[in-house]
Amino acid sequence: MSRKPFDIPELIQMSLKAIKKHELVFMYDVITYLPCSKSLFYEKNLDKLEDIKEALAENKSKIKQKLRSKWGESNAPALQLAYYKLLAEDVERKALSTSYMETKQKHQSEDLSKFTDAELLDMMKPEKNEEQETDSE
């Protein structure tokens, strides 16, 4: 029994309707609302169509905007901080960050070819102070 080939323009319209109706934001979610296989969707390059990509991007943008509005109106400190970090300048964001670390050191790599094997092995040995610290623990 042969199967009727899919009408590509119809699949495109179905994709756009599903994106709008279900507020989809990921391409793989679109496929679940279509009567075709995932492989056909990609073979026909439906994932590359600007109309579909734009519809998904529009939904993402709307959802992000809704979330930012909720965060800005929230009394929860964590949400207020997250919202502030989104709006902050780099200087403010660095001041708020608990893990920000600025490195001003210039790293230089040593030319190890000038050392003998014995010297290299000696350099790899832990210093006496380090050995004593680990032994006393």
User: Which residues fall within 8 angstroms of residue 49, CB to CB, at 6 or more apart?
Assistant: 12
Q: Note whether residue 73 is domain-resident.
A: yes
The string of pLDDT tens digits covering residues 76-131 is: 888 888 888 888 888 888 888 776 566 666 666 677 778 788 887 887 787 765 54
51 membership: H or E segment, kind and range: helix 50-73
State the Cα–Cα distance between residues 57 and 25, nearest whole angstrom: 7
Q: Note whether residue 127 is domain-resident.
A: no
Q: Is-above-0.75 flag for pTM?
A: no
Residue 101: predicted pLDDT: 61
Q: Note whether residue 131 is domain-resident.
A: no
Q: Note whether residue 130 is domain-resident.
A: no
Answer yes or no: are the C-beta atoms of 84 and 74 closer than 8 Å. Answer: no
Q: Note whether residue 132 is domain-resident.
A: no
Q: Note whether residue 102 is domain-resident.
A: no
Greater model confidence, 28 or 93? 28
Q: Note whether residue 2 is domain-resident.
A: no
Go through 66-75 and write b for each residue having 16 or more CB atoms within 10 A of its CB, e for each that does not: eeeeebeeee
How many structural domains comprise the chain? 1
Note down the domain range covering 15: 8-93
Q: Note whether residue 16 is domain-resident.
A: yes
